[in-house]
A and B are shown apart, each in its own frame.
Chain A
Amino acid sequence: MEEKKIIELLILKDESAFQIFYEKYLGFIYKICFFMLQDKEEAEDAVQNVFLKILKKINSLKSGVSLKSWVGSITFNEVKNRRRFFSRDKKKNLNFFFEKRDKILTPEENLLEEEKGKKIKDALMSLPFKFRIILILREIEDLSYEEIGKILKIPEGTVKSRIARARFELRENYKEKKIEKM
């Protein structure tokens, strides 16, 4: 269903449009909440809240605005607000990362991939809030600089420089994890 049509039907509180919208954006919203809040239960709670807010605010959605940017913006505000009330940089044992695999690996390859996956995860989770969110939006969600700018409400120039800084800090964190392991 076309995005414009979904928005029209959502405003009319159409059930089937909501189901389509829910299925389409659930993963996107959940990933942001999960990575940023670093807690599975809190992420689930945040997801519920985001959808509630979306339904309340749907009438205020301006035409021409990308639905994904708008949803991303509401999600970002939700995690930002939650961060204020809960302890910052909570590091919990989050052992539910799965990796997308294109081919079947040998047991040795599997082990190596798992180790690499854990290292990158740890390096990502160790990043400060503003770096983590920008890399999630860029690298995991594959959003454009423009879309990221709309979600985080920052100019494109700032998106560019912040992504660069985030990448280099991630690189440093990743190297440190390597050294720790050795």
Chain B
Amino acid sequence: MKKCEKFLELLSSSIDGKTSFEEEKILREHLRDCEECRRAKEELLILKNELKKIDIPVPERIRLKKLQFSSSQKFPYSNYFAYLFALIIFITIFFLWQNIITGRSTICLEIREKAEDHFPVIIKTIKIKDKLPDDFFMEIEANFKEKSIEMYVIKTNYKEKNEKILKYLKNIEFDGFENKKYYFKIYKCP
């Protein structure tokens, strides 16, 4: 159809009724002598007809979405602030929970052979799930026996914490200690 190239656009425009009187005349004369172009015109008309038959149904969920869509559109930015506010509240509660309600502290345990000794035999740090005040301290006499350790609280400024601290101490492994009395000094690590 190389020789007919200049007529192809005319053919297409003619199908849409977009040719002038003169153009239509030229095309008609050409079609009289060109079987290929006549066939092309027929086929284009068939294809045009086939395309017109194509239909795409809109999915139901898009039709249904319209109600949510239109009601949310009136306040397009309020959702963002609501989410931001909720996020801030959540973070605040989380930190409160971590630091005040549950809380964690690290306590330092100095073990001396005698209370008046300057230097401890050993220093341990223990992480506990409890919020202790900064000035917390405790002094314990620990009696190491063959199979057990007996602990007595000598001094403390927070009696209510006694039981908890002793529980933690009982879980520590004290290896290499002789069967005798030791002195524990416990405080909140700086």
A97 touches B52 (CB 8 A): no
Give chain B residues whose Cβ lies under 8 Å from the Cβ of A145: 16, 18
- Residues facing A in B1-25 (CB within 8 A) are 8-9, 11-13, 15-16, 18
C-beta contact mask, A21-49 vs B, less than 8 Å → 1, else 0?
Answer: 01100110011001100001000100110
In this assembly, does A155 line the interface, its C-beta being within 8 Å of a C-beta of chain B?
no
Stretch at the interface among B59-67, B81-89, B120-128, B171-179: B59-67
A34 touches B66 (CB 8 A): no
C-beta contact mask, B47-90 vs A, less than 8 Å → 1, else 0?
Answer: 11011111111110111011001110110000000000000000
In this assembly, does B96 line the interface, its C-beta being within 8 Å of a C-beta of chain A?
no
* Contact status of A13 and B73, CB under 8 A, knowing A31-B56, A167-B47: yes
8 shortest A-B CB distances, which residue pairs?
A164-B12, A139-B51, A164-B9, A120-B50, A99-B53, A98-B55, A30-B58, A18-B70
Contact of B47 among A22, A97, A117, A120 (CB under 8 A): A120
CA gap between A139 and B56 in the complex, in Å: 14
Contact of B62 among A30, A121, A135, A140 (CB under 8 A): A30
In this assembly, does B91 line the interface, its C-beta being within 8 Å of a C-beta of chain A?
no
The distance from the CB of B66 to the nearest CB of chain A, in whole angstroms, is 5
Contacts A/B (CB < 8 Å), 29 sampled: A13-B73, A15-B71, A22-B69, A26-B58, A26-B62, A27-B58, A30-B62, A34-B56, A35-B56, A47-B62, A48-B62, A96-B56, A99-B53, A99-B55, A116-B50, A117-B50, A117-B53, A117-B54, A135-B51, A138-B16, A140-B52, A160-B18, A163-B16, A164-B9, A167-B12, A167-B15, A167-B44, A168-B8, A168-B40
Residues of B participating in the A interface, judged by any CB pair closer than 8 Å = 8-9, 11-13, 15-16, 18, 40, 43-44, 47-48, 50-59, 61-63, 65-66, 69-71, 73-74
B57 touches A160 (CB 8 A): no
Give chain A residues whose Cβ lies under 8 Å from the Cβ of B43: 171
B59 touches A44 (CB 8 A): yes
The distance from the CB of A86 to the nearest CB of chain B, in whole angstroms, is 20
CA gap between A99 and B12 in the complex, in Å: 24
User: Nearest residue in B to A116 (C-beta to C-beta)?
Assistant: B50
The distance from the CB of B57 to the nearest CB of chain A, in whole angstroms, is 6
Contact of A51 among B13, B52, B69 (CB under 8 A): B69
The distance from the CB of B38 to the nearest CB of chain A, in whole angstroms, is 14
C-beta contact mask, A106-131 vs B, less than 8 Å → 1, else 0?
Answer: 00000000001100110010000000
In this assembly, does A60 line the interface, its C-beta being within 8 Å of a C-beta of chain B?
no
B51 touches A124 (CB 8 A): yes
User: Nearest residue in B to A145 (C-beta to C-beta)?
Assistant: B18
The distance from the CB of A99 to the nearest CB of chain B, in whole angstroms, is 5
A161 touches B9 (CB 8 A): yes
Given pairs A30-B56, A100-B52, 13 additional interface contacts (CB within 8 A): A13-B74, A23-B66, A26-B63, A44-B59, A48-B62, A48-B65, A52-B73, A96-B56, A97-B54, A138-B16, A167-B44, A168-B8, A171-B44
Give chain B residues whose Cβ lies under 8 Å from the Cβ of A117: 50, 53-54
Contact of A22 among B18, B40, B70 (CB under 8 A): B70
B11 touches A164 (CB 8 A): yes
CA gap between A27 and B71 in the complex, in Å: 21
The distance from the CB of B44 to the nearest CB of chain A, in whole angstroms, is 5
User: Nearest residue in B to A175 (C-beta to C-beta)?
Assistant: B43
User: Nearest residue in B to A159 (C-beta to C-beta)?
Assistant: B18
* Contact status of A120 and B51, CB under 8 A, knowing A30-B58, A40-B59: yes
